[in-house]
Amino acid sequence: MKSKTHGPDTSAVEVTHINAHGLWLCVADTEYFLPYESYPWFKDARIRDVLDVRLLHDRHLHWPALDVDLEINSLKDPQKYPLVYNPR
């Protein structure tokens, strides 16, 4: 009996780990750490909402329940994206 060829990978983006300091995100075989200090909207979010991340147009990350959007380039090269969250 021959096995069928596996279909395409359906998870181009995945949250791989969450701890007290931040979360790890794997996008197309590259892992990024998002510390809560820089990405505070994830800190008190429900785990299921953090895990529900979508990759749009191969470059845009979207968390629907949190209304958070990030460009992958901002994770790859953060110094080119100087705007930072300010809670004041």
**Could you give all domains of the chain from N- to C-terminal order, each with its CATH number?**
13-80 (3.30.2020)
pLDDT tens digits, residue range 53-71? 999 998 999 999 999 999 9
The pLDDT tens digits for 30-46 are 999 999 998 999 999 99
Residue pair 17/24 in contact (Cβ under 8 Å)? The answer is: yes
CA gyration radius for the chain? 15
Q: What is the pTM of this model?
A: 0.78
Residue with tokens 């931040």: 22
